Structure 1
């Protein structure tokens, strides 16, 4: 289940970047910048949950094991 959620968040970040390009071209510069910031925050959240620590364990792996 968590893999599906993280996949959806990555797809959301990609869609936000694409939407930001169209918004920027349409003259909505502030909204485009905010969309890029939101995409970066979403990407960082995925990275936090999936990148392993010094012990080689990702937080997502510990949750799936129940620790």
Structure 2
């Protein structure tokens, strides 16, 4: 992996964690369901994208 690719994966995971924490905060503390669920959905998309990017390719 190139260093730029590794940095992109790291940033995506950090963003996914931040979105998860923010989404849970909105759901639990502020009772903003729509925005909280959208943030959690975005975090899930980030996690799945990183998973897809890091899966080994068949050779």
Which of the five TM-score ranges fits, normalised by the shorter chain?
0.7 to 0.9
Unaligned runs of 5+ in 2: none
Alignment RMSD (CA, Å): 1.0
Residue correspondences, number: 55
Largest Rg, 1 or 2 = 1
Give 1:1-67 correspondences, 5 Å limit: 1-24=4-27, 25-55=29-59
TM-score by length of 1: 0.76
Bigger RCO (CA 8 Å, 6+ sep): 2
TM-score by length of 2: 0.85
